[in-house]
Amino acid sequence: MAAASESVTLNGRHYRRPARPVVVVCIDGGDPAYLARGLADGIIPNIARFMRAGFAATATGTVPSFTCPNNMSIVTGAPAAVHGISGNFYLDPASGEAVVMTGPELLRSATVMAAFADAGAKVAAITAKDKLRRQLGKGLDLSRGNISFSSEKADQCTLAENGIEGVLERVGMPLPDMYSADLSLFVLEAGIRILERERPDLLYLSLTDYVQHKCAPGEAEADAFYRALDERFGRLAALGAVVALTADHGMNDKSKPDGSPNVIYLQDLLDAEFGPGDTKVICPITDHFVAHHGALGGFVRVYCRGGKATPAAVAALARALPGVEAAYEKAEVAARFELPLDREGDVAVIADAGTCIGAARADHDLSALAGHRLRTHGGVAEARVPFILSAPLNDAYAERAASGGLNSRDIFEFAVNGTA
């Protein structure tokens, strides 16, 4: 670090200056089941070594177990009640409009990266999907060697916008397709190049869950992807970095025995009970990238707008449905999962591991699933994630880990302060 600051404080956590580069990787959709299978099959030797020689646990993530809320929890070290990002998508109560929740103005906290950069550290954040880039790069001064870009738009990087240019040439890969394993592998290859040359103090690499939505553990494409991830994790560690691995959420098969999606179309059921237009179901998994899950997830919010349906009546109807694990009214869901109250619906409905919840049947285009079983996430059942460090914990952090309650939002602190 160039500047004199010996430590950084953010959201009540104190971070020391890292003695060597720290790389935190968010394996999007990286359910612990993929690691269990990969370890059993012997196809992820570097991760196996980290787990043996460093530290490994299963942690809890943010509920709803979606991409944006969890990435923001990881990079702020705080719950969604603090950082404000409680879905990929929400209903703005002021306008009644559904809004994509990726604007930096919606993020209510600084990030660990920006805080370190302000203290004189060099940081880089690379994400697969461009939708995360502006929040990950929020407050980051890109004029001082810090870097923030997405592999989706790696061909458009400029020094002014991203702190880097000529990314395709440096990485030596063509621009990856939006729906590909390469979108993630590009992030890791870019991270390796940047670690080699710029040697940032902190590097955050956020992947995409294209493969996990499509393939169960043990399927050939999932195995190939995990072998490829593992090889790159090994190279990051070989460059002298502490490598920390977690996930934004897990992934479950939500299909019926015949292979068709196991969906509760909640809007249709509510319309039948309370009349069309009385309630509005919002699926916060929605983004511009829905072909692999049809915007179906394990957590939806219901807004009571017409005056007929009360939150209590909606919650009672939802709770009685097979496949619904829980339904909570606004204040309870916000308290239980540390969510921002002003961005909650009137009722939150959470599916069990084998079920997903949609709005109206007509709202979901499942044609792109064509032949694939529906695998998705969003509920409590998908909020268990890996928490792996390539280096062993010091005594203080080993003690904290042993006391339980590890959350994926602890990973920057553990990687920076906890590795000897």
- What is the C-alpha separation between 78 and 325, in angstroms, rounded? 26
Quick one: which segment of 25-33, 94-102, 268-276, 330-338 binds Zn ion (CB under 5 A)?
25-33
Q: In the complex with Zn ion, which residue's Cβ is closer, 31 or 118?
A: 31
Quick one: which segment of 119-127, 204-212, 307-315, 403-411 binds Zn ion (CB under 5 A)?
204-212
Which pair of structure tokens corresponds to residue 389? 């460090």
28 belongs to the binding site for Zn ion (CB under 5 A): yes
What's the closest the beta carbon of residue 182 comes to Zn ion, in angstroms? 17
What's the closest the beta carbon of residue 77 comes to Zn ion, in angstroms? 19
Q: Is the peptide bond before 64 cis (omega within 30 degrees of 0)?
A: yes
Asked whether 262 and 356 are in contact (CB, 8 A), the reply is: yes
What's the closest the beta carbon of residue 304 comes to Zn ion, in angstroms? 29
Which pair of structure tokens corresponds to residue 162? 């991203």
Which pair of structure tokens corresponds to residue 267? 């809007």
Hunting for tokens 């994509």 — which residue is that?
Answer: 100
Q: In the complex with Zn ion, which residue's Cβ is closer, 242 or 245?
A: 245
One character per residue 247-286, x = contact with Zn ion (rule: CB under 5 A): -x--------------------------------------
287 belongs to the binding site for Zn ion (CB under 5 A): no
Q: In the complex with Zn ion, which residue's Cβ is closer, 67 or 148?
A: 67
Q: C-alpha 251: how far from its chain's center?
A: 12
In the list 46, 67, 135, 390, the residue contacting Zn ion (rule: CB under 5 A) is 67
Counting residues that bind Zn ion (by CB under 5 A) gives 4
209 belongs to the binding site for Zn ion (CB under 5 A): yes
What's the closest the beta carbon of residue 63 comes to Zn ion, in angstroms? 13
CA distances (Å), 267 to each of 98, 359, 361, 362, in order?
A: 15, 5, 8, 10
Q: At a CB cut-off of 8 Å and minimum separation 6, what does 398 contact?
A: 55, 392, 418
Asked whether 203 and 22 are in contact (CB, 8 A), the reply is: yes
Binding residues for Zn ion, rule: CB under 5 A, are 28, 67, 209, 248
